Structure 1
Amino acid sequence: MNAPVQMTLLQTCVMAILQAVAAVIFIFVVVPMTIYAERKVIGHAQDRLGATRIAGHRVGLTGFLNKWMWRAGKVPILSYWRGLPMLVGDIAKMFLKEDVVPSKADRAIFLAAPCLSMIAAVVVFGAISFAPGALFIMPKWFPIVGGLPFNGAMTDMNVGLLFILGIASVGVYGIVLGAWASNSKYPLLGGLRSGAQIVSYEVPLTLSLLAPVVLAGTLNFGTLTRVLAVESSPLAIPLMAVGFLVYLTCGFAETNRVPFDMPEAENELVAGFHTEYSGMRFGFFYLAEYINMVVVSCLAGAFFLGGPYLLPFGLHQFAAKLPVIGAPNALWYVLKIIFLLWVFIWVRATIPRYRYDQIMSVAWKYLIPLTLVLVVLAGAVRFVS
C-alpha cells in the first residue's frame, strides 16, 4: 500500500488556491448560463417576444453584438443563442451603474450586507465534492504542484454537510441587515419576511438532510454520497423519495424563489429587501440567489440523486449493465445539477406565488412533522439493515 504523499506548506497553499479558483470559475460559468437559460425558458413558456425571438436594442456595444448575433441566429443551429448579448449588457450595467446609498441609511451596514450574502454563498462550495473519494493528478508540467494528487473538493472535511448548512444559513443575515440598514419601510418588511421564512424552512430542510445522514452514518460529503448511492438499503428508497421532495420544496423557500418569493414580492413590496440597492451591490444579492440555487441543486443531486454515480438509492450496482457507464463520474453530477436548475426555472414559469400565511403554515404544520417521521423511519431502516 502506497504511503500518502506529503506536501510542503507552499504546495498545500498553491493547491488550495487552485481548487478555490476552479470552484469560483465553475460558479461564474454556471450562474450566468442559468440566468440566460431562465430567460429563454420563461420566454418560451409565456410565448412572448423576448430573448427567444429578438436580439434587443441595436445601440452601442450590445447593439453591435446584437446585430451580428441576429445574423448568426438566422442559421438554425445558432438560433438558440440569440439574446445572449442581453446577458452581457446586464453584467456591464451592474458594473457601470451608480452605487447609490440612501441619505438616511446606516452606510457601513448597508454597504457590507450584500457582501455578506455573496461571500456566504460562495464559501459553501469549499466542502462540495464533484467526484467524492476520487484523486486526480496535476499535470507534471504544472509548476510547484505538478504530479501531485488532489481531491474533488477544496477540503474533504469530516463534517462537510454541517459546514455547508452552517455557512449557508449566514446568508440570511445579509438580507436582514441590508433591509434594516436601508431605513425604508418596503425593504424592512421584505427583510422581516425573509428572516421568518428562512428560519421556518431551515428546520425541515435540515431534518430532510438528517435522514440521509442517519442512513449513511456520517457527515462527510463524499462518504455520504457514496454510501447513499452504492450501499443504501432498498427499504430506504421510499424515504429518500419523500425526503427529496421535502428538501426541494424547502430549497425553493431558502433561495426566495417562486412560489416562495415573499421577501421580494414586486406587486407588494416594490422589490423587497433590495429596493434601495443599485449597481454591483444589487448584483451581489442577485448573484447570491442564483449561487444558492446551484448549492441547493448540488446537495439534492449528491444526497438524493446519486451525485457522480449514475443511479441513486443504492441502485448503482445495476449501472454496470448500462452502456453509458464509461462516461466520467463528474459528468453525471453536472447533468443532475443542470436538471435541478431547470426545475427551478420551470416552477417559476408555471406556479403562482402563495400567500404568506400559507407559506408559514406549510412549514410548521406539515413539513416539520413529516421530516421528523422521516428521521425516525430512517433510524429504523438503518437498524434493520
Structure 2
Amino acid sequence: MIEVDVRLQVGAFSLDVAFANGAGVTALFGQSGSGKSLTLSIIAGLIKPDAGYVRLDGETLVDVATGVFVPVSRRRIGLVFQDSNLFPHLSVKQNLLYGRWFAPRGERRIDFDAVVETLGIANLVSRSPTRLSGGERQRVAIGRALLSCPRLLLLDEPLAALDMQRKLEILPLIERVRDEFDVPIIYVSHAVEEVLRLASRVVIIDAGRVTSVGEPAEAFNRIAGAPAANRFDRSSILAATVEETSVAHGLTKLNHPAGTIWVAGSAGNCGSLARVIVKATDVILSRVLPQEISTRSILSGKVANIQFDGAIATIEIDLKDDGRLLATITRGALEDLALKPGSYVYALFKTAALDERAIGMASAQGE
C-alpha cells in the first residue's frame, strides 16, 4: 500500500496531491504540466516535498513534519522513465544484472530468466544498448527495474517516445508484468488508451490538484462533462460484461445494462469486464429504435445535459442503469430530434469505430 499526501511549490506552480493505492496498476493521469511526473519524483525520493508524507507498506519514506526522509537508494522502488537511461558501456545482460545489486540477497525473489522470458529479450542479452530499438530499450529498462525486486514500480510515461506499433508491442508486456510479478505499479500517462488497458485505479490530476479518483470508467466519466479543448477530445468509457465471441465473424458481444456493444476480435473470457472507449463524434442518436442498419452497438438512456459550442451540441446521456455517454451532433440535428434534458434516446456507434487494441480488462470481482 502506497499512501501519498504531499505539497510542493515550484515557482508559480503549486502541487497538492493526496491518494492511496494497493495492488495492481494505479495510473496518474493528466495533461502535460499537470504535476504527474513531479508527484512520481517525490515518491521516488528525487525531490523533497514542502509538506506532507509518503508511506509504503506502513513504512514512512517522507514525513516533513517529523524530518523523516529515506534516501532513494534505500526505498526499494523501481523507476522507468520515457528515456530508458540504460548504461551504454554495459551489455543488455549487464544492465539487467545491475538492477539485481539493489535487491538484498534474501529478497531476490524475481528470477532473471523469468524476466527475460516475460519481456521477450532473450535474443538481446549480448547486445549493446546502442544497437537496440526504442521499444527494445524500454523492455530492458523495465527488466532492470524488476530485477531490483522493488516494493513498488514507477513507470513515467514509458511509451511516450514510441510509435504506435512499438506501443502495441510493449503494452501486453506491461500487462504480463502486472499479472505475473505481483509488484504494485504507479503508471504516469496522458494517454487514455494506455490507462484504460492497464490500470485498475486512476488518479486524475489537473493543475497540481486531484480532480477524480476511482476505477477507470468511474474516474473518467466523472469528469466527462468538463469542457474539452475541442469536440474530438471528448470520449466516454463504458464497462460491459463479455458474453460471447462469434468465431465466424471475429466479433465479441458485450452486455451493458443499457444494451449491447460489439467489438472486433477477442475481448477476454466470458464473464469478465471489458472497458471500451467511445468517442463522442462516433455516436449517432435516434428517438426510435432503428431497424435494418449496419450499426450493431445500441444503448439506451435519457438526455442529462446539453452543451453548445457554435454549431455543435454535446449531449450527455444517462445510460439505463449504469454510466454516461457523450455524443456530439449539430444544432440542426438537435432541433430536428427535439432533444432536451429528459428525452429518451438510442445511442448507436459502429464496431469499426471502436479500437479493440485499447480495450481494458478487469475481473468481475475486481470491479
TM bracket (short chain)? under 0.3
Higher helix proportion (structure 1 or 2): 1
> TM-score when scaled to structure 1?
0.24
